[in-house]
Amino acid sequence: MDHNLDQSNSEPEVHEPRIIPRPEHKISRKKVDPDALKVLYRLHRHGFKAFLVGGSVRDLEVGKKPKDFDVGTDARPQQVHKLFRNSRVIGRRFRLVQVFFRGGKIIEVSTFRKASDPDDNEVLGANNTFGSPAEDAMRRDLTINAMFYNIADFSVVDFVDGWDDLKNGRVRAVGDAETRFHRDPVRVLRAVRHAARLGFTLTPETLEAININRHALELCPTSRIRDELLRDLMGGACADWLELAHDTQVLYSLLPTLEPYYGENGSPLRSRARVFMSKVDKAIAKKRELDGSVVLALLFWPILEELAKDIDLPPGRAGRIAWANFVREKLPELASPVAFAKRMLERAHQISGVMAFVLNQEPGLRLPKKITQKGYFDTACELARFLDHNLRALAGPPGKTAQKRRRRPRRRRPRKKPEASAAPEA
């Protein structure tokens, strides 16, 4: 799904596109989702322009598997809807068509748009100012996200010099970077994410615009910030993202609570967090399904370790309970600047809280049933797999509380024999 469009009317000058013919690029239809191809071909057969748009073109060229295959066309939303019975038109300000396929798959089809008049009211249709492919490209966030794949002749169409940026490993904003990020500061996060994910370099003007506009992230809707941050953490390049987000200070615009611990260059706590994030990246590369609460707990775990040094945890069971209470208090404080989903944050401090039981367990001893029967126990075990066992002294030795207690047999009292009834008097 592509949400990287600008809504302003001050755009770079439109110029003739650069056409990269099929022999000069690596994009193969064999790598394109077959249902996306069905949409492209049907639009093309009915006389409409039909392009793959956005990040799918970028990923296919660099050899990555796209998460989404979005389609751009000059057909209007109602025209697209008539071509596909299995579709619906959604959106108020920005109408697009969702085409449904088996397995819950959705291919989104949007009509090329140009910048809307700033005097327009944001009512139904006000921002549905349809335009050309060139005008549509000029409204996107980064040049490497603004190229199109034309199903008519299998060429790549580039209006913004994104091809050169892709081949030279550059992340650059479309048009004036400062203006582009000022109008939507969330683009700051996308620029950092793509640079980390692809191993690219931020151009000087893009880096300067990030520095200027990163403070405005706190003004963005919390739901957008949460979703973008989860994409960073779960995108398969979190370790590199953590370092680049530190270098650009974007990490501390998102989570200022991390700066005292991760902010120094060479911070051992950030290095430890990077080790955890590298493990997450490897797990994602192996197609392992990870609960977001596990990744969230790993991001904050080195800080929890550090803060725990300042408290005196008693040994044994009391220490484990004290650790759980400590995590319940501290983890929400660390994560509070971002409005993480309540369930995810709750699960993160639940599984972090039981680590004092899991990591301090002696071989051959069973964990208490009240731990193993929790609904989140499997998720806690997943977290334990990512953590090393340097915390054995966290709450003292496990002691006998980890063993299954045997119930003492109840001694039954012998039943009293009923007394014989007294004989009646004569």
In angstroms and rounded to an integer, the radius of gyration of the C-alpha atoms of the chain is 29
CB 148 within 8 A of CB 57: yes
- Any idea which residue has 């957008």 for tokens? 224
Angle between helical axes of 377-386 and 268-285 (0-180°, round to 10): 120
Active-site option among 2, 74, 136, 141 = 141
| CA neighbor of 351 nearest in space, from 314, 298, 391 | 298
> Which one of 33, 35, 68, 161 is the catalytic residue?
68
Respond yes or no: is residue 158 known to be catalytic. Answer: no
Distance CA 1, CA 107 (A): 8
Neighbouring residues of 239: CB distance < 8 A, sequence distance ≥ 6: 274, 277, 278, 280, 281
* 68 carries an active-site annotation: yes
State the Cα–Cα distance between residues 125 and 317, nearest whole angstrom: 63
Cβ within 8 Å of residue 123, ≥6 positions away: none
Burial 329-344, CB ≥16 within 10 A → b, else e:
ebbeebbebbebeeeb
Cα gap 45→52, rounded to integer Å: 16
The catalytically annotated residue of 2, 6, 59, 70 is: 70
70 is catalytic: yes
- Say how far apart CA 55 and CA 149 lie, in whole Å: 11
**The token pair that represents 125 in the structure block:** 């249709």
Catalytic residues: 68, 70, 141
